[in-house]
Structure 1
Amino acid sequence: MVDQSAPLPSVCDLAIWEPVLRLTPEDGTERGAGRSARVAGRISPSGYSIAHRGSMPSTARIAVQDIQRELARGGVREVVFRAEVRPDGLTTLGLVWPSPAVEPAYGSVNLGVLVLADGSLPAPWLRRPDPVPGAVPAPSADPELLERTLRERLPDAVGATEEEIAAAEARLGVTLSDELRVLYRVAGGDWADDVETAIRVDKAVGCEIFGVEHLFGIDAASRFPGWDLGATDAIRTPPDAVVQGLAGSPGWIGFGTNGGDVFAVDLTPGPRGHFGQIVLLGHTESLGAEPVADSLTDFVLGRLREERPDRRGAELPAVAGVGTGRLASVQAAAHPALEVLSLDGGDGPPFHLAPVAGLPRLRTLTAMPGALADPLEVAGLTALEFLALGVQEWRVLLDAGAVPRTLKAAAVTVRHQDHLPVVPVANEILALWDRPRIAQTLLEGDLGPAAAPA
């Protein structure tokens, strides 16, 4: 056993894992046919993901539950495992422990994402709104009509004071729209102890509104889903956009909710938008906002937008995939606006990166093992923030001292659970940024010979 300070010795016993390790493809036919079998996955106190076909035997389920209990008892968020079982039963099991420098890749048996700088974010989550000096309210914005309507619907409502509204503006660092000021002047009182009135207010407005002291600007970092998903995502602001393509904006003022999503008044609209329009930020979305009404007056009166355009538009030119049924060549993906490039040649010839060298916005490259003709061509991608390559490709870059220093995060991709070389290579990458290394425990034992195939 090779133990690099395992945080949980209670699960460092091959016997505990044996029922899980017998979950080899097609119930052991790999071993029975004289080939080594592999099983891999991750287990956390609240779930697991294991690369296995077919139903899981009760013995394996019980073993997983036992491991989950031990993880919970030890305060360990997860363990990633990869095992190789030879036909004669000799078994190597690698346990990879959580590291502050590794972000889990949820739903994947891969190691995870190596975060090379604390708090780092991809470019879309760092973009600030463009200035909109010419933006004006929509023709439908009518503070007087809005106030009349709210007072008719809520004759007994008590609103926020001017001092409370001014304090909110000072805290947010923005001047609220006239309509939003009307909403809180009429119906923005404290209803925390009056559920019945709060329900009437929410019905009158069209959503559950926050107290004036809880108004907030949408912070981009709070919507970041992690590098595993965020590195390959992109958004843009076309010339005819109603809403700017952003993760967050100090001018998106969250004022209400439908129970999961957030409604915001937009003070930084897109080129075709209106100052003070209402946008929706979906709780499952991490980029962009959807226009729902041209004004708060329209929103309260139920005059919602019927057209809700796709906020992303076509994938190209910002995001492109090459190979395995997608674009046929890297040349076809080359575009000055390209941000994310994914390569998977399958059984076809590997790709050259020359057509995309020097592109100013290409920040993410993911390439499956064997997809690159020459890994050293990565040096031509001068704006890379995220790089995901196979073990051999990383080995070429490391040996040549050619790992791009512009990276904020990285990943080591695997195919067919080729797991054993991953941690040493990952630790070499982390060492370049003086980041905490990954601890791995290697267990060896004998599961006994596999049964011969029928």
Structure 2
Amino acid sequence: MSSLHDFATWEPLLRLVRAGNAETFAVPGGHVVGRIGRRAWSVPVRRMPPQPGRALRAEDMRAEFDAVSRVQRALADSGADGVPFMVEIAPAGAATLHLFDPNPAVEPGIGGPHPGALVLVEDAVPEPWRRLPEPMPGAAPAPTADPAVLERTLRERVPDAIGATEEEIAAAEARLGVVLPDELKALYRVTRARWEDWGDDHEAAERARTAVGLELFPLDEVYLADVASRPCPWRFGAKEAVVTPPDAAVQGLVGSPGWIAFGDNGGGDRIAVDLTPGPRGHVGQIIILSHEENIGAGLVADSLTDLVLRGREKGRGRGRGAHSPAVAWVNRASLQSVEAAAHPGLEALSLGVWEGEPFSLAPVVGLPRLRTLQACRGTLADPLEIAALTGLEYLELAPEDWRVLLDAGAVPRSLSAAGIEARHDRHPLPVVALANELLALWDRPPITRTVLEGDLGTEG
């Protein structure tokens, strides 16, 4: 038996959990949930406040660190990345620990055993992650693009840099499966950006960074910023949409086989050469992919030469542009009706927090591109209206609304993924049982769990 499934592995942590949640466990049916991963955890323990006048220190959390570390070592030994759990502890100390097993058909939930999206069709991804760039036959390099000027300028700025050989450039092209644009080749002929080339000379490394205007990746770490490089859970990705206005310089994609990421802005945002520009863009323009967004990119410079000579122009940074009617949010702070969201281009509709009368879905029936519906608890007047939305690929509902569809045999068979809106105050086991009913409709593997029992004794 894996040590992960040994009650003794969990006992120190369960004692801390009991100490911090006595009132919760005292209520019939009382339970707490959490999740432990190899590098992070979400565990409901009570942390003592630091002494007045100083910040919280590691030693203030030593008991928690030690208890979590026992579980993390067991995770590593078992090969698992993380484990969500639920625990029930009786006043006399009898503890029941539910460990929820990994499932290839279920995306992780947030901080506990409530499941994330159920992937009903194997390997399915949201529609924006299936989009390829549109061809732009008239696109051409910007007038500012000049590989010779670029190379000469960089050699003047970093004369002591070690450049990549033609063999190294060819190897990078073979690895990526694309021919590097001339400007990018010129850059790497001047410096291949390997830390070992600079040794302990941090000033030389800083000069190279300043010379280019970004933190340059070594040539062997350059990658294609395609859709696979920008993964996203279904519950978020299904509510995105690819939109490229006629005057856009950059296509509003998740990623592209023509986006060659070669650097970072120092804050986690990737800098790339764009070989698949938008209607008003240039081949070889420089774009930035925000680490805070799932889709889209912003224009940085018309060319790599332009970036190195003039830097990033003010006001040309990242951004998603104007709101698109392809994605609509109806709630007390946004649109106030489904009628206001209805539009032939609507792809994703979310019904959020709402105190008024529930909504009818009649205004969006028949819309040709509607593929995503999220409806929070109490927002639907009649969940069975969903049956008329024949193009849905993602549906997220409260358990009560899923129950209506299941009992009526009306769960849309067009779905590729599904989500259950389950607040953390809901008991996980009924939610998991509901998820298994949905998984069974597509013959997907059910969510399973391992139950461990032990005695913590009385406190004190």
TM-score by length of 2: 0.79
- Residue of structure 1 equivalent to 2:56: none
Distance 1:8 1:350 in 2: 46
User: Secondary structure of 2:6's match?
Assistant: helix
1:333 partner amino acid: A
- Residue of structure 2 equivalent to 1:400: 408
- Residue of structure 2 equivalent to 1:223: 230
- Residue of structure 2 equivalent to 1:452: none
1:384 partner amino acid: L
Distance 1:309 1:198 in 2: 25
Distance 1:6 1:395 in 2: 37
Q: Once the 2 structures are TM-superposed, how far is the Cα of residue 372 of structure 1 from its aligned partner?
A: 2.0
Distance 1:390 1:210 in 2: 45
Distance 2:91 2:39 in 1: 33
Query: Which of 318, 329, 337 pairs up with 1:321?
Result: 329
Instruction: Indicate if the aligned counterparts of 2:35 and 2:85 stay in contact, CA closer than 8 A.
Output: yes
Query: Which of 258, 261, 270 pairs up with 1:251?
Result: 258
> For 1:411-444, what per-residue CA distance to the aligned partner results, in whole angstroms no more than 9, with x for missing partners?
2222442434211111111122222211135689
User: Secondary structure of 2:258's match?
Assistant: strand
> For 1:179-221, what per-residue CA distance to the aligned partner results, in whole angstroms no more than 9, with x for missing partners?
2232233444877444346554443222343344443321211
Instruction: Indicate if the aligned counterparts of 2:17 and 2:44 stay in contact, CA closer than 8 A.
Output: no
Q: Does residue 283 in structure 1 map to residue 284 in structure 2?
A: no
- Residue of structure 1 equivalent to 2:17: 20
Structure 2 CA distance for partners of 1:95 and 1:202, relative to 1, 3 Å: closer
**How many residue pairs end up in the alignment?**
440
Instruction: Indicate if the aligned counterparts of 1:277 and 1:293 stay in contact, CA closer than 8 A.
Output: yes
- Residue of structure 2 equivalent to 1:428: 437
Q: Once the 2 structures are TM-superposed, how far is the Cα of residue 83 of structure 1 from its aligned partner?
A: 6.6
Q: Does residue 110 in structure 1 map to residue 114 in structure 2?
A: yes
Instruction: Indicate if the aligned counterparts of 2:100 and 2:113 stay in contact, CA closer than 8 A.
Output: no
1:425 partner amino acid: L
Q: Does residue 205 in structure 1 map to residue 209 in structure 2?
A: no
Structure 2 CA distance for partners of 1:377 and 1:173, relative to 1, 3 Å: same
Distance 1:348 1:92 in 2: 41
Structure 2 CA distance for partners of 1:56 and 1:304, relative to 1, 3 Å: same
Structure 2 CA distance for partners of 1:275 and 1:67, relative to 1, 3 Å: closer
Which stretch has the larger CA shift, 193-202 or 98-107?
193-202
Q: Once the 2 structures are TM-superposed, how far is the Cα of residue 306 of structure 1 from its aligned partner?
A: 0.9
User: Secondary structure of 2:370's match?
Assistant: coil
Distance 2:453 2:362 in 1: 44
> For 1:370-399, what per-residue CA distance to the aligned partner results, in whole angstroms no more than 9, with x for missing partners?
322222222222332222212222222223
User: Secondary structure of 1:249's match?
Assistant: coil
User: Secondary structure of 1:292's match?
Assistant: strand
Mapping for residues 12-411 of structure 1, pairs under 5 Å: 17=14, 20=17, 28=23, 39-44=32-37, 46-49=39-42, 66=67, 69-70=70-71, 72-74=73-75, 75=78, 76-82=80-86, 95-107=99-111, 110-155=114-159, 157=161, 159-162=163-166, 164-188=168-192, 192-195=196-199, 196=201, 200-259=207-266, 260-308=268-316, 311-344=319-352, 346-411=354-419
C-alpha RMSD over aligned residues: 4.1
Instruction: Indicate if the aligned counterparts of 2:288 and 2:299 stay in contact, CA closer than 8 A.
Output: yes
Structure 2 CA distance for partners of 1:185 and 1:61, relative to 1, 3 Å: closer
Instruction: Indicate if the aligned counterparts of 2:5 and 2:452 stay in contact, CA closer than 8 A.
Output: no
> For 1:352-372, what per-residue CA distance to the aligned partner results, in whole angstroms no more than 9, with x for missing partners?
222122323322222223322
Instruction: Indicate if the aligned counterparts of 2:114 and 2:432 stay in contact, CA closer than 8 A.
Output: no
Which stretch has the larger CA shift, 119-128 or 174-183?
174-183
Instruction: Indicate if the aligned counterparts of 2:7 and 2:454 stay in contact, CA closer than 8 A.
Output: no
Distance 2:173 2:240 in 1: 33
Instruction: Indicate if the aligned counterparts of 1:105 and 1:228 stay in contact, CA closer than 8 A.
Output: no
> For 1:46-101, what per-residue CA distance to the aligned partner results, in whole angstroms no more than 9, with x for missing partners?
5444679x9779xx996896466235425454443457899999998755333232
Instruction: Indicate if the aligned counterparts of 1:49 and 1:109 stay in contact, CA closer than 8 A.
Output: no
User: Secondary structure of 2:114's match?
Assistant: coil
Distance 2:354 2:86 in 1: 23
Structure 2 CA distance for partners of 1:265 and 1:64, relative to 1, 3 Å: closer
Q: Once the 2 structures are TM-superposed, how far is the Cα of residue 223 of structure 1 from its aligned partner?
A: 1.0
1:226 partner amino acid: P
Structure 2 CA distance for partners of 1:404 and 1:382, relative to 1, 3 Å: same
User: Secondary structure of 2:447's match?
Assistant: coil
1:215 partner amino acid: V
